């Protein structure tokens, strides 16, 4: 009887929903273009995943190319440089992940500034690098690390040290990549935590002050617990793309001398697909990367849900 009642009520719910859409049609029109863009750019290209199970031929297209199963995945796993590429990608990704809390620390420090003018100045200075293009950032890194007249080497020489060819040093490449990224994105990444800190109840802070808590104790026992759910959610999302090391910056900084640590999955896919024309093989490699990311996302989300009761689902 309850099931029949739900079936009877369904047309009424649909009519109410359509009336609500008609009443707020401006809002739906506002999101129409973003929805179309996401559909065209994110969902339609998903047909390309099929190429990883084929020997793709441009003339035959996706649907008529011969199927080969897991051939390209097996080829990648058996590739002599597989572990080196995977290790380089994981090393840079986990190194970058270790710097993730720095945005929280910066947000907490900015939040403790009493002068609104000083706070705005610090925010502006830390936000600006985010708007510098990757090409310009890599050009700056190349100039600053130049062995003959680079800024860093000039400082080293000033104190009696020996000049170093930083970009030609394979061991230094992960640090150059990660810390230049920290400089570029630290201020921008702190915005979400500043927004979370703005939502901290003033009553909690006042109650802590009445109890005699110092500023450090207020940060530790009030501010940090209040922004912890935001931190956990952003950490889960970051772990969901842990192996997605951007190829643009690495390609611009890469050379034959640092290739041992700078060759990652994304640059390997670029070389295979765009330069080598091995579309099926490059799709399989990229799909392998995506599967690892999804597994990391599921694992970290599960652990976060068990430990903190905060998760994506």
Which ranges of the chain would DSSP assign to H, the alpha helix? Answer: 2-23, 25-38, 61-64, 71-77, 82-98, 102-111, 116-127, 134-144, 151-158, 173-189, 191-198, 202-210, 215-218, 224-239, 247-253, 259-262, 265-270, 279-308
pLDDT at 8: 47
User: Domains in the chain, please, with CATH?
Assistant: 2-55 (no CATH), 71-308 (1.10.3720.10)
**Segments in the chain below pLDDT 70:** 1-11
Give residues with Cβ within 8 angstroms of 128, minimum separation 6: 187
pLDDT at 301: 87
Q: How far apart are CA 252 and CA 249, in angstroms?
A: 5
Residue 76 CB neighbours (<10 A): 22
Tell me: the pLDDT tens digits for 236-254?
Answer: 888 888 888 877 889 899 8
pLDDT at 4: 44
pLDDT at 91: 92
pLDDT at 176: 92
Say what the pTM is.
0.82
3-state class (DSSP) for residue 54: strand
pLDDT at 6: 52
Q: From 288, 245, 262, select the one nearest 49 (Cα to Cα).
A: 288
Q: From 222, 239, 212, 257, select the one nearest 303 (Cα to Cα).
A: 239
């Amino acid at each position: 009887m309850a099931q029949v009642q739900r079936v009877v009520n369904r047309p009424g719910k649909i009519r109410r929903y359509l009336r609500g859409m008609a009443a707020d049609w401006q809002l739906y029109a506002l999101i129409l273009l973003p929805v179309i863009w996401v559909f065209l750019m994110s969902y339609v290209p998903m047909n390309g995943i099929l190429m990883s199970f084929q020997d793709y031929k441009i003339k035959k297209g996706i649907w008529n190319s011969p199927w080969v199963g897991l051939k390209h995945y097996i080829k990648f796993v058996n590739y002599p440089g597989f572990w080196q590429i995977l290790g380089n990608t994981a090393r840079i990704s986990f190194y970058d992940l270790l710097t993730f809390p720095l945005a929280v620390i910066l947000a907490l420090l900015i939040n403790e500034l009493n002068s609104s003018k000083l706070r705005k100045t610090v925010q502006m200075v830390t936000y600006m690098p985010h708007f510098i293009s990757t090409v310009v950032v890599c050009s700056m890194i190349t100039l600053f690390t130049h062995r003959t007249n680079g800024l860093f080497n000039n400082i080293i020489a000033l104190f009696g040290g020996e000049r170093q060819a930083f970009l030609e040093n394979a061991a230094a490449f992960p640090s150059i990549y990660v810390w230049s990224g920290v400089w570029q994105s630290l201020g921008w990444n702190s915005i979400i935590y500043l927004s979370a800190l703005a939502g901290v109840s003033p009553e909690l802070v006042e109650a802590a002050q009445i109890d005699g808590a110092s500023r450090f104790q207020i940060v530790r026992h009030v501010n940090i617990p209040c922004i912890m759910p935001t931190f956990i959610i952003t950490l889960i999302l970051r772990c969901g793309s842990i192996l997605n090391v951007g190829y643009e910056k690495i390609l611009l900084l890469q050379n034959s001398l640092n290739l041992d640590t700078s060759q990652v999955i994304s640059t390997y896919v670029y070389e295979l697909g765009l330069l080598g024309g091995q579309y099926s093989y490059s799709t399989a490699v990229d799909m392998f990367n995506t599967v690892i990311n999804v597994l990391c996302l599921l694992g970290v989300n599960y652990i976060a849900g068990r430990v903190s009761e905060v998760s994506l689902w």
